[in-house]
Amino acid sequence: MYEVFFTYRIEIAYTIAIALILGIFQFILRKAAHKVGKHSEINITRTRLMFKYINILVLIIAVFLFSFAWGMGLDKLSIIFSSAFAVIGVALFAIWSILSNITSGIIMFFSFPYRIGDKILIHDKDMPIEAVIEDIKAFHLHLRTEHGELTTYPNNLILQKAVTLIKKDVYLDEGKDSL
């Protein structure tokens, strides 16, 4: 055991340092997302979704840094990551609408002016929708119409259409707690 530690002492030290730095980085990002969510009164489930995105980002950075710390050169890392990103890029191009909905969900987390419980009108020329926002997910909104119908509306479309706020937090007006 001593020989292994002595042989790889520099790599182990880098690994510990990277783990500590990434742990602090992840903590800061999660605190910031939580603070934005709390300040903007965003539902906790949406904040937890941001936590998942932060975890994925930190994991990708960790794989890159740990590979580099354990002796994989930049030339080998660049080949591996460029190949991986090429495959991911082709896959994401094939499913670009999912990627655009996720990106829209992230944008909506930080700057969407409407909240769960707000009654909105989406000005869609083909089918205008007047409904209450029941939930905001990673890919779509859950909208409840006056007739009780549940409509899912893609996040990327909600950012492209004009939206009018009809009534702020309908659930509180009805005596219910906000979701």
Listed in order, strand segments (DSSP E) in the chain are: 119-123, 129-136, 140-145, 150-154, 162-167
9 and 77 housed in the same domain:
yes
CATH number at 130 reads 2.30.30.520
Query: How many CA atoms does the CB half-sphere of 59 hold within 13 Å?
Result: 6
9 and 84 housed in the same domain:
yes
What is the rounded average pLDDT of the residues 60-70?
Answer: 88
- φ/ψ of 129, rounded to 5, equals -120, 125
**Residue 175, by phi and psi: left (phi above 0), alpha (psi -120 to 50) or beta?**
left
Q: Show which of 60, 94, 128 is a domain's final residue.
A: 94
**Burial readout 14-39 (b: 16 or more C-beta within 10 A, e: otherwise):** bbeebeeebeeebeebbeebbeebee
Higher pLDDT, 20 or 86: 20
What is the rounded average pLDDT of the residues 152-167?
Answer: 89
What is the rounded average pLDDT of the residues 81-87?
Answer: 82
Collect contacts of 29-33 with beta carbons under 8 A, ≥24 apart. Answer: 29/54, 29/57, 29/58, 30/54
Answer whether residue 179 is part of any domain: no
146 and 89 housed in the same domain:
no
If one counts every other C-beta atom within 10 angstroms of the C-beta of residue 58, the result is 17
Rounded to two decimals, the pTM is: 0.55
| Residues with Cβ within 8 Å of residue 96, at least 6 apart in sequence | none
What is the rounded average pLDDT of the residues 133-149?
Answer: 89
pLDDT at 171: 64
86 and 130 housed in the same domain:
no
26 and 88 housed in the same domain:
yes
Residue 177 has pLDDT above 60, yes or no: no
Residue 175 has pLDDT above 60, yes or no: no
50 and 128 housed in the same domain:
no
30 and 90 housed in the same domain:
yes
46: containing domain: 2-94
7 and 87 housed in the same domain:
yes
Answer whether residue 107 is part of any domain: no
Alpha-carbon distance 18 to 51, whole Å?
A: 20
Alpha-carbon distance 7 to 1, whole Å?
A: 10
Cβ–Cβ < 8 Å for 178, 117: yes
Answer whether residue 79 is part of any domain: yes
Alpha-carbon distance 26 to 51, whole Å?
A: 9
Domain count, the chain: 2
66 and 30 housed in the same domain:
yes
